[in-house]
Structure 1
Amino acid sequence: MTRLIALLPLLLSALLVALPGLASAQARERPFASERIVVETRGSGRDVILIPGLASTGDVWARTAARLDDDYRVHIVSIRGFGAVPPGRNQDGALVAPVAAELRRYIAERRLDRPAVIGHSMGGLVALQAAADAGRDRRNPIGRVMIVDATPFFPSLISPGATTGDVEPIAQIAYQALLLLGDAALRNQPTLIGRELGGAADSVFGSLGWQGGDRQVLAQGLYEVLTTDLRHRLPDIAAPVTVVYGWSPDDTNPRARLDALFQAGYRSLRAPARFERIEGAEHMVMIDQPTRFLAAVGRFLG
């Protein structure tokens, strides 16, 4: 438990990092009416869905979408309540499971044929939940899944034996702190927070730059990222899974030790996952190392 508390800043910083918004193109078809998500569609071809992480909007996928939309129909998701997107029903109750259900409704209503789904961070949890539900009920199947720097249970990356019960008190504190301080306070005092909580995350906290959003939605999202454990749902996933994550060859960087932890997290999949580590990337893999990430996406889409 002490180890979890000491390393909490490293986990939180990885989950909350994002970049300011970029301009997005106008949607080319009738908007999908939803109180959970907003979807922008561009290009034509096979369907690829991009899901951002905690406190990020679809803008973080700008470079990825620009590379793909000549050959694919790209569906760029923004979760309501993150960034400047109005929160809608995401202000009430759970977040990951309802957003995953809404993603599946989008796939059904748009009649997408076995789309590829790429989810980053919390968006990776949404992708795993949607793929598991699709595999279990065998409706509107997902063709393939790429998880970017996410695991079915995030705390397992810092303590392989951690349980939801271990993390619950920490998650409650984080939830209340975010409600009290708001995203602006967290953004303006990242180094101070890192020093007060301990651990080796000060430099990462110093570069914190997330897009913020509705305080209630952010707090709920952070709580669920810390406590959601989807490892028992992995056998339900029928689609092939690729896991991409940031990695460093520097032994002093915690990311140098992530290989075994990521592999252990996906051990119960029906078919073994394919793992790709992106050297030189931190949590925002697609922005930290765009060329290497796009090459991995190309291999994933085949």
Structure 2
Amino acid sequence: MTRLFLALLAILTLVPVLARAQTADAPFQSDRIVVTVQGQGPDVILIPGLASTSEVWRRTADRLDDRYRVHLVSIRGFGDIAPAGNAQGAVIGPTANEVRRYVADRRLDRPAVVGHSLGGLVALRMAADGGDRIGRVMVVDAAPFFPALISPGATVGDVEPLARIAYQALTFLGDEALRMQGTAIGDQLGGASDSLFNSVGWQGGDRRTLAQGLYEVMTTDLRARLPTVRAPVTVVYGWSPDDASPRARVDRLFRDSYRNLPRPARFEPIEGAEHMVMIDQPARFMAALNRFLQ
């Protein structure tokens, strides 16, 4: 009887351990995102921007995975990944919810979340909704309201008609139409169009998903949500000392954009970078990322 009791006790003790192991080993099932993992250590989540997959983070992940466990997110419908659940409806909000579900499912302990462009909006949304579950956030060339980087007084109402035009152009005419119209639309908002339209790293994808993602990048305004962000925030962006460059004035615009955070953000301007900061200036970006993760 004693042996039977001990055997049952051992089995009952092992069941939760085995369940956790199976959860950790089983692929995460999602119709919104695809996640791959490499390395061991504290958790870092990397989220790409519009029309990009996790490949834009490959060099960064390879430089981190000897010290960190890196979770590379791809958003379905970008690149060659089938859109699945992103074939209809919103993109940014459901993606943020799904990455937060991933954090809970994998039992990640206050991970660092790094998001580029649209991925930066996802990261901010996660932090605003996630409370203490998110350890820290880095947004890379992203603002809580992107048009404010182009025209500080712009409102969602001002931008929405232009966003609708961009949506229709991308839906009906394809990627090349977006590249051709990007500068013109940006000029209507006051210049600096590279912060919204940049073909470097553009991997294409499902037209409807891309069009919806672009529409949301142009019309999402998270400034009122910033006071609910508990995690410390670092903002990284391309900058130029050349007064002739639109990037010369973004420092003030980024700082104004994040003034509603409960604790001041840390700002990391990267000289010589444009929108794809981690590709344009990889060494300087890695230095900023290492400071963020310390």
TM-score scaled by length of structure 2:
0.86
1:92 is displaced (CA, Å) by 1.2
State the match for 1:153 in structure 2.
Answer: 145
Displacement of 1:194 in angstroms is 5.7
Task: Give SS of 1:159's match.
Answer: coil
1:199-246 C-alpha deviation (Å, 9 max, x unpaired): 467999796551000000000000000000000000111000000000
Q: Over residues 72-94 of structure 1, what are the superposed CA-to-partner deviations in whole Å (9 max), with x where a residue is unaligned?
A: 00000000000001101001111
Equivalent in 241, 249, 258 of residue 257 of structure 1: 249
Q: Which of residues 206, 209, 217 is equivalent to 1:217?
A: 209
Is 1:163 aligned with 2:155? Answer: yes
1:14 maps to which residue? none
Is 2:51 aligned against 1:60? Answer: no
- Conserved in 1, the CA contact under 8 Å of 2:56 and 2:201? no
Aligned partner (choices 204, 225, 232) of residue 240 of structure 1: 232
User: 1:186 is matched by which residue type in structure 2?
Assistant: A
Give me the whole-angstrom Cα distance separating, in 2, the residues matched to 1:283 and 1:163: 22
Task: Please say if 1:186 is aligned against 2:186.
Answer: no
Q: How many Å separate the matches in 1 of 2:50 and 2:169?
A: 16
Paired residues in the alignment total: 267
Give SS of 2:59's match. helix
In 1, the alpha carbon distance for the partners of 2:97 and 2:254 equals 25
Q: Does 1:51 align with 2:43?
A: no
Q: Which residue of 1 aligns with 2:264?
A: 272
The answer on 1:293 being equivalent to 2:285 is yes
CA contact (8 A) 2:185 2:193 kept: no
> 2:194 and 2:90 mapped to 1: Cα distance?
32
* Aligned residues: CA RMSD: 2.0
Question: Which one of 70, 73, 80 corresponds to residue 76 of structure 2?
Answer: 80
Corresponding residue for 1:105? Answer: 101
Q: TM-score, normalised by structure 1?
A: 0.84
Q: Which runs of 4+ in 1 moved over 3 A?
A: 192-209
Change (3 A) 1:117 1:195: closer
Choose from 126, 133, 149 the match for 1:130.
126
CA distance in 1, matches of 2:269, 2:183: 29
Equivalent-residue separation in structure 1 for 2:45 and 2:186 (angstroms) = 37
Q: Per-residue deviation at 1:31?
A: 1.7
SS in 2 for 1:111: coil
Which of 201, 215, 226 matches 2:218? 226
Give the SS at the match of 2:137: strand
- Matched AA of 2:94: P
Map Cα deviations across residues 134-173 of structure 1 (whole Å, 9 max, x no partner): 12xx5xx100000000000000001111110010100111
Going from structure 1 to structure 2, the CA distance change for 1:198 and 1:160 (only over 3 Å counts) comes to closer
* Structure 1 portions without partners, runs of 5+: 1-27
Q: Determine helix, strand or coil for the equivalent of 1:48.
A: strand
What amino acid is the match of 1:146?
M
Flag the structure with more relative contact order, 1 or 2, with Cα contacts below 8 A and sequence separation at least 6. 1
